[in-house]
A and B are shown apart, each in its own frame.
Chain A
Amino acid sequence: MFSRPVTFAGATKLNFKSYFFPVLLSSICGLQAQQISIIDFWTELPVDSVMAVSHQDTLFSNSNGVVDFGLFKIAERPVILKKQDYYPQTILYKNIKNGSVKLMPMESSAPIDVFSERPGNPLLMTPTHTTFIHASEIKEQGFNTLDKALAAQSGIFIKSYGGPGQIQSISARGMSAEQTQVFLDGIPVNSFQLGSADPGQYNLDQVESVEIYRGGNPRLGSGGTIGGAINLHSRVIPDTLDYSLKLRGETLNNQFADLTIGLPTGFLNHEFSLHYENGENEYTVKTGSEKISLTNRDFNNWNFRYRSSLPIASDLHTELMFYTYKFSGGSPASLKNERTEVTNNARISYDNNLTALHLSYQKQRYKLNLRAFLRNNWNEYIDPDSVIGNDIISGCHFNHETGLIGHGQFIISKRFLLNSGLEVSRQKAQSTAFGDKNRERYAFFLRGDYELPWQFLNDCTTQLYTGLRAESYADFGNAFLPGIGITFYASFIKVYLSGGKNFRAPTFNELYWQPGGNPGLKPEESINFEAGVEYGRSLRSFNFMLGLSAYSIRPKNQIRWIPLTSNISSPENILAVDSDGIEIEARLADVTKRFQMIANYNYGFAVKADSDLPDDPTIGKRLPFLPEENWSILLQTGTSGLQCGFVISGSSFRYTTYSNDPYDILPAYRTAGCWAGYEFTAYRQKITVRGGCENLFDKQYELTPGYPMPMRHFYFELHVTN
């Protein structure tokens, strides 16, 4: 379970800016020689002098870990790789992904206890509570959307405005959605106008893995990681022809379709991915004595993603991504009664796209990554039934951001790894609420990971971590964010302690919204502390893992809209919050995952710490909308193709106001779901059929006041892949 410290494993994706560039490159690359890059399994650094034996040839990797086979036909032949202190490995050239092979060092095998986890996860080994979930695990656990999988993680809270296709936001550790940063392949995707990100806009089938960093991290900053950061990794572009077709239907009258095609052409690998969903969210809820069929919950969206990867040389890699997301659907008002549903006709539409290029250059002692990106977010809202004077209520907003993110990883010595990065972006917003505004952002970070040369105990390691992040915004100055931590690794236990500063930049709405926007706002700041322990052991054929972390976050200068007059509010740096909590994760699984139980629990207590009005009676009261407790338990079992699972989750009640009035609450809830699936092969295609039930006990509950979640419903899914 606990590997030796892996400071940074750059499983980052490659991106570029033009549709046509890959085609141009593919014509150049057809003449490339056959090479493989050999890297250390844990450090992902190149391994030199590896002996590669293929047929009658014996070759050695160079200082960059590259073995060049020239033009020999080796695709079908086994290649044996050998080096002292590494386990030998036999591979088939045609099966090598991305041209690289990982060699497992012998020395690292002793303290490692593998608990059916994917080793070598691309986690930043920060001394904080981090979670890595592979997409295949998410699917094994029965989740069919990303947001549901995230909601089951401890310390993560999804605020949803209803069923599929409805607006969502994600937050961590009692902080707001604006204080939780979401990245797609390292590129920040939170709206800089609103501050939040909608996890529903990202499709599970396009994601390879999800990293959840709770608390601050100097490497991942970008405007607000006071609560945490979530990094979505796209799947590795396959270098063989492959496809995946998935169809899903729900009894809510919702339909979903995914088609992904991997298409290698020479040395250039392409991936085309299309996701389409359309639905009505037909369900009936009770309010008072009325039974109401909800309206205006329809949605129609599709996203298309094109990616291509190109190994220009063994140490230089590029990847291009173009992603577009279009949505149109209802923007329902909160549920009141049957009549108000008649005039519940507001509509919202989005048109977002992201174009990104990733260049990766790797040498034996350093690795450089450069990402260039361009993203456009457009949205429009219109409510034909709300007339003010002679005008209906409407709004239109366009956000545009271009940026460069450069990261470097340097091995200073055998025990000292340095990470640094520089980020530059220009943000521009055009809004019916405030006109045209723009700003520039610069950020720099340094992070050092140092392994202490002595051992407190036998067979243990202690790693120190220090970091500094500097953020500079043209419209409100600089922020310096230091961080420090220590991690102690022993054979079955990991103990960590960390602290640091973090911040969140004001959003464009907070700065400029008319009326009320406040251009004089400062960034929010926070101090975070965390301590945690993770313990894992195997017992016969079962693996057991238990993790416990305790955190404390002290944000200040938090932005809160304060009334200036009876009808105009303005944001001020006035709110202070004390947020403390514990997160517990437990997992029990047999080594083949025929049986698996996962339990997550968190207890958080976020209270208002300072007054924001004279004689403020709400000091010490709980923050609204945050449950004190939430938890989930997942059971999964199966054999030879047949799988089934059951998940139950719950939350304590949530106050909806700072007054903590017991009559203004969202009640506690428990919800359950179950599923069963069967996987088989036919005509050499892997076919999976799966059916399930969500909200099994037909309980009405809300995550946002006035927006009931779907009642009991069933789904059926067909997945065909090669």
Chain B
Amino acid sequence: MLKQKIFYILITAILIYGCKKDPNSPEPTPTQYGAYVLNEGNFGQSNGSISFFNLEKKEIENHIFEKVNGENPGDVVQSMTIIGDNGYIVVNGSDKIEVISMKTWKKVKTINSPAGSSPRHLLPVSETKAYITNLYTASVSVLNLETDEITSSINVGLNPDEMTSSGNKVFVANNGFGNDHTVSVIDITTDQVIKTIDVADNPTATFTDNNGDIHVLCTGRYPAWDNPDDTGSKGGIYLIDASTETVKDSLSLTGFPTRLVYDGETTGYFLRCSAVTSYSTETVDIITDTLVSGNFYSLSVHPESGDLYLFDALDYSQNGLLKIYSAEGIFQDSYETGIIPHKAIFLLSE
């Protein structure tokens, strides 16, 4: 009987003890002003997240969306645009835009993007209208901000990515994953493409400078793996005159540059060859080739201090790091974020 008792004790122990309990952590107290760090998460795994960096306390709180709303934002947290009191979080792989209150971080609404559209970026173009680029449908959706409904779609180039506005025009970078080399120009009033501008291969990132001109970063095309003679193509920065919709200056770049941010004055930054490079937005010339060296995934710039927020995705499967450098390239501090951090959206007190 002893053996049977041992057996029953073992079974009972397993059933009662069960398994180690799931970990958890308490809900945070929302703080409106600060930097919202977007963590893409791994494609297909729905582990994107949003971190909040308290600029005063120099503290970071990860997974704020899950902690407040009890669910994950979705697959690839691609971008976030603050319009009024709301934040529009574009969740690329989940084909949706989550709208949260910036005061409470609570989810206000979910805007469903067309199935398979893979939305990338949202840009308000008027008080009642915003555009959303759709990576896989070669189109830009028109969003009615009053009803939060998508009302129409504008055909653009292949795999449209970032966009920026100037006057009543929006300039859309069509990356084509290296197979496109154009910028589509959309008239905001008619929602029509009025021009397509040629740039270098793989235009991915854009911004509008203080002069109202458009800066477009082209990564260039990567070499084809099955053709050893193919060296790919050069990228570059293209300066487009928004009024004439023509390229008025350019800077050819090797090393497949990526990302493009603007300090709001006269300096732009991008990543190339494991370094942060700065350039003059006035002359489109390199200022410092290696301002900060390191294998960063992406970067943002604080609109007031000019500090560089550099994102290290480490091995792309573990939590990444936010590394803050001064505008002069001096390291200040480092914070753990979510998986594949890539952008900081700043909401500063007035």
One digit per residue, 1 when the CB lies within 8 angstroms of any chain A CB and 0 when it does not, for chain B 287-314 equals 0000000010110000000000000011
Closest chain B residue to A669 by CB distance?
B19
Q: Are A390 and B158 in contact (CB under 8 A)?
A: yes
Cα distance, A583 to B349, chains bound together (Å): 57
Task: Digitize B1-30: 1 where CB-to-A-CB distance is under 8 Å, 0 elsewhere.
Answer: 101101100110011001111111100000
CB distance from B318 to the nearest CB of A (A): 4
- Does A542 sit within 8 A of B, measured CB to CB? yes
**Which of B10, B66, B94, B176 meets A337, CB within 8 Å?**
B94
Closest to A632 in B: B14
Q: Is the CB of A342 within 8 A of B258?
A: no
Q: Is the CB of B158 within 8 A of A389?
A: yes
CA distance A548 to B20 in the complex (A): 21
Q: How far is the CB of A582 from chain B (nearest CB, A)?
A: 13
Q: Is the CB of B177 within 8 A of A389?
A: yes
Instruction: Tell me whether B11 and A657 are in contact (CB under 8 A).
Output: no
Smallest CB separation, A669 vs chain B (Å): 9
B95 touches A340 (CB 8 A): yes
A336 touching B316 by the CB < 8 A rule?
no
Which residues of the other chain, A, contact B22 by a CB distance below 8 angstroms? 653, 662, 665, 667-668
Complex CA distance for A633 and B8, rounded to whole angstroms = 11
Contact B3 A617 (CB under 8 A): no
Chain B residues with CB under 8 Å of A539's CB are 1, 3-4
- Check if A84 is an interface residue, CB within 8 A of chain B: no
| A335 and B114 alpha carbons, distance in the complex (Å) | 16
Pick from B1, B25, B295, B336 the residue with the most CB of A within 10 Å. Answer: B295
Asked whether A342 lies within 8 Å of B317 as measured between CB atoms, the reply is no
A613: Cβ under 8 A from any B Cβ: yes
A residues less than 8 Å from B271 (CB atoms): 566
Stretch at the interface among A209-217, A380-388, A443-451: A380-388
Q: Is A149 interfacial (CB-CB < 8 Å)?
A: no
- Per a CB cutoff under 8 Å, which of B6, B25, B75 touches A336? B75
B residues 271-289 near A (Cβ < 8 Å) are 271
Residue of A nearest to B20 (CB): A652
Q: Does A119 contact B (CB under 8 A)?
A: no
Do B19 and A652 touch (CB < 8 A)? yes
User: Which listed residue (B115, B159, B297) contacts A566, Cβ 8 A?
Assistant: B297
Judge whether A389 and B295 touch: CB under 8 Å: no
- Of A339, A659, A667, the residue contacting B95 (CB under 8 A) is A339
B167 close to chain A: CB less than 8 A: no
A546 located at the interface, meaning its Cβ lies under 8 Å from any Cβ of chain B in the complex: yes
Most buried by B among A631, A657, A663: A663
Contacts of A658 in B (CB 8 A): 315, 317-318
Does A288 contact B44, Cβ atoms closer than 8 Å? no
The reply to whether the CB of A677 lies closer than 8 angstroms to some CB of chain B is no
Q: List, in ascending order, chain B residues with CB within 8 A of A569's CB.
A: 316
Chain A 359-403 near chain B by CB (<8 Å), digits 1 or 0: 000000000000000000000000001111110000000000000
Question: 8 Å CB contacts to A: which residues of B311-349?
Answer: 313-319, 336, 338-339
In the complex, A630→B176 CA distance in Å? 46
A10 at interface by CB-CB < 8 Å: no
Most buried by A among B10, B63, B66, B177: B10
Identify the closest chain B residue to A618 (Cβ). Answer: B318
List residues of B (241-258) whose CB comes within 8 Å of A's CBs: 256, 258
Chain B, interface size: which category? 35 or more
Complex CA distance for A618 and B223, rounded to whole angstroms: 34
| Cβ of A682 to closest chain B Cβ, rounded Å | 38
Interface string of B35-71 (1 = CB under 8 A from A): 0000000001111010000000000001100100001
- Which of chain B's residues have a CB closer than 8 A to the CB of A30? none
Contacts of A343 on B, CB cut-off 8 Å?
A: 95, 115-116
CB interface residues, A 648-682, toward B, < 8 Å: 650-653, 656-659, 661-665, 667-668, 670
Indicate if the CB atoms of A657 and B339 lie closer than 8 Å.
yes
**Docked CA distance A584–B75 (Å):** 39
Per-position 1/0 for A511-542, Cβ under 8 A of B: 00011000000000000000000000101001
A357 to B113, CA, bound (A): 56
> By the criterion CB–CB under 8 Å, are B20 and A628 in contact?
yes
Contact present for A566 and B20 (CB under 8 Å): no
Q: Does B236 contact A (CB under 8 A)?
A: no
B126 within 8 A of A: no
Within 8 Å by CB of B74, from A336, A537, A628, lies A336
Complex: how many Å from CA A335 to CA B44? 8
Closest to A516 in B: B225
Which of A514, A562, A601 is B14 in contact with, Cβ under 8 Å? Answer: A601
Q: Which chain B residues in 122-159 approach chain A with CB under 8 Å?
A: 136, 158-159
For residue A38, CB closer than 8 A to chain B, the reply is no
For the complex, what is the distance from the CA of A656 to the CA of B177, rounded to whole Å? 29
A542-571 vs B, CB cutoff 8 Å, 1 = contact: the mask equals 101010000000000000101101100100
The 10 A-B residue pairs with the shortest CB-CB distance, nearest first, are: A389-B179, A343-B116, A652-B19, A514-B225, A662-B23, A342-B115, A659-B319, A544-B3, A658-B318, A659-B318
What residues make up the interface of B, taking CB atoms closer than 8 Å to A?
1, 3-4, 6-7, 10-11, 14-15, 18-25, 44-47, 49, 62-63, 66, 71-72, 74-75, 93-96, 112-116, 136, 158-159, 176-180, 222, 225-226, 256, 258, 271, 295, 297-298, 313-319, 336, 338-339
A-B contact pairs, 14 of them (CB 8 A): A387-B159, A389-B178, A544-B4, A563-B295, A566-B271, A586-B6, A597-B7, A617-B319, A651-B19, A652-B20, A656-B45, A658-B318, A659-B339, A663-B49
List 5 other contacts, CB 8 Å, given A613-B314, A630-B19, A661-B319. Answer: A389-B176, A586-B7, A667-B22, A668-B19, A668-B21
